[in-house]
Structure 1
């Protein structure tokens, strides 16, 4: 230790001990020096990190695989978009659009402007992952192509098959203008039966009631169908009261007979002074002496006897009107509208109206049928009609729709011209103008 002491001794004269404040300043200088060195070190590290990140992003961008332009197809039916799914390998961290978790390294699905885990892109129909290279979109929902067809491709309401696609790639089917029933076009010509009353096809598994003259009646229309002459008498009295309330009382008692289609066609052929007839005639106002086969007993529908009894009825002419014939087996509202139409023909003849143009006479008769239907539909909800089927009002609306939208020049145009005149001038003034001029007022 002697040598250490000697050194100290020699240096001692040259050392000056600073005060306490001087030591504090010295400490601050040393601390600042260390701080500046640390900042320089961090700055260097940040530069290296930014450079690495830039290189990683560039590498990731070069590996992105978007679907090629030729693969972004739009299905020709206009509502299915098909896109190919790409399977790039993830080189950075992204968020899955399905589970919202981070996607690490590995295979990902890149579609619909987002990235997904392969198991997270699920079909909206079956909720199973979509692993196919092509899928279908409906709005923001993805489907397997088979699931999309099952959920969105239209099916026929008759045969329940998918609607066929034509050569141009479009789905073809027909829609009933009133019932909105969708069906394959070939059912119009392949012998598929439809109801003779409401004009609907029934699904293949649903049975019709078969009438003896070959017509088919759906079970809903059968519920209110009038099957024989005796069954129609209460309805006949109701319509007579309707005419009286419209100031058109019929003084003469006119026989009313319900007949099958063959008897109606035979009576129409024997009527030499009849009025215009539709292709499918359901009623007739007779003015000739004839013998008509009338339905005298209601057919029985079910597993038992389906026969009906026809009885000859000899018509003798006492005036311009011999009888009114109506096709049997039609619902009450349709039978009533036909009866109101034919009774208007009888009223015009019995009141001495001149021979009218076909569109004028048939038009005003359709106006009366339409007026009666409107009154009956309005009364269905009353307590007196409480026992009527809920379907009956819809059926009445359909019969009105048929009258209003008839495209024939005689019945359709005649009704629209007559209805416009009645709405503008009133029913009685319209009748007066018809009797005076033979035409509708305008």
Structure 2
């Protein structure tokens, strides 16, 4: 007779003798956790004892960027990878870690925001990233916000939200390409399949335009000159 191997719950590790559910990332969780608050990035049950600004599971909490000292420790390789993609700000921009409420209080629209760049003409006044994000999500947000800073400093002017946010998501996705592990893969999938008409459609339009025109650099040159993505031939 063939044996049956029961899977284990991704949250508590117990055998799945009870029915459960699958998170957005494809992890199986037993029904013991059905009414627990999901973690912001992975969807596993959050550990509220962590006392973080965002609900995090223990796995994500272990990599959370919680202080400005953490930023100094983890930012150099992130910045180096962004520079290797030929995105360089003309003047250094400080990444400032801020509480979740500080970001939300600056905005009036719905939804949660993990980063914000404040510009005035060619000058970047502030680049904020939410405190307590897991390392991979922190890197994604940094890359996204650095592209906002780059577009301002390079004089791209007023772009439509879909074009600008699409370019920012394109850089975030490019940064993820050489990041190992499941969290990076989940972030790549989230960006690629995001149904949002500004961020998701914008990313896919920027990606397709770069492929069509022969690379990101040529695509950016077109956007700088015309204020729009290159269209089909």
- Give the TM-score range, shorter chain: 0.7 to 0.9
* 1:431 alignment partner, SS class: helix
Change (3 A) 1:251 1:235: farther
Give the structure 2 partner of residue 147 of structure 1.
Answer: none
Q: TM-score, normalised by structure 2?
A: 0.82
Change (3 A) 1:419 1:318: closer
Please report how far the alpha carbon of residue 183 of structure 1 lies from its aligned counterpart in structure 2 after TM superposition. 5.7
Aligned positions, number? 226
1:280 to 112, 119, 133: 112
Give the structure 1 partner of residue 152 of structure 2.
Answer: 349
Provide the rounded CA distance (Å) in 2 between the counterparts of 1:356 and 1:183. Answer: 46
Residues 142-164 of structure 1: per-residue CA shift (max 9 Å, x gap): xxxxxxxxx7999987796744x
1:11-410 aligned within 5 A: 162-163=18-19, 174-181=21-28, 187=34, 190=35, 192-201=36-45, 207-213=47-53, 215-268=54-107, 279-287=111-119, 320-377=123-180, 393-410=181-198
Provide the rounded CA distance (Å) in 1 between the counterparts of 2:187 and 2:138. Answer: 10
* 2:107 alignment partner, SS class: helix
| 8 Å contact from structure 2 (residues 87, 150) kept in 1 | yes
Q: Which has the higher contact order (CA 8 A, sep 6+)?
A: 2
Q: TM-score, normalised by structure 1?
A: 0.46
Q: Which runs of 5+ in 2 are unaligned?
A: none
| 8 Å contact from structure 2 (residues 192, 204) kept in 1 | yes
Residues 210-245 of structure 1: per-residue CA shift (max 9 Å, x gap): 3343x3211111222211112112433333333332
Provide the rounded CA distance (Å) in 1 between the counterparts of 2:165 and 2:110. Answer: 10
* 2:177 alignment partner, SS class: helix
Work out which of the two has the higher radius of gyration on C-alpha atoms and give 1 or 2. Answer: 1
Change (3 A) 1:157 1:252: closer
Alpha carbon RMSD of aligned pairs, Å?
3.1
Provide the rounded CA distance (Å) in 2 between the counterparts of 1:321 and 1:341. Answer: 14
Provide the rounded CA distance (Å) in 1 between the counterparts of 2:154 and 2:43. Answer: 36
Change (3 A) 1:152 1:357: same
Q: Which runs of 5+ in 1 are unaligned?
A: 1-122, 126-150, 164-172, 270-276, 288-316, 378-392
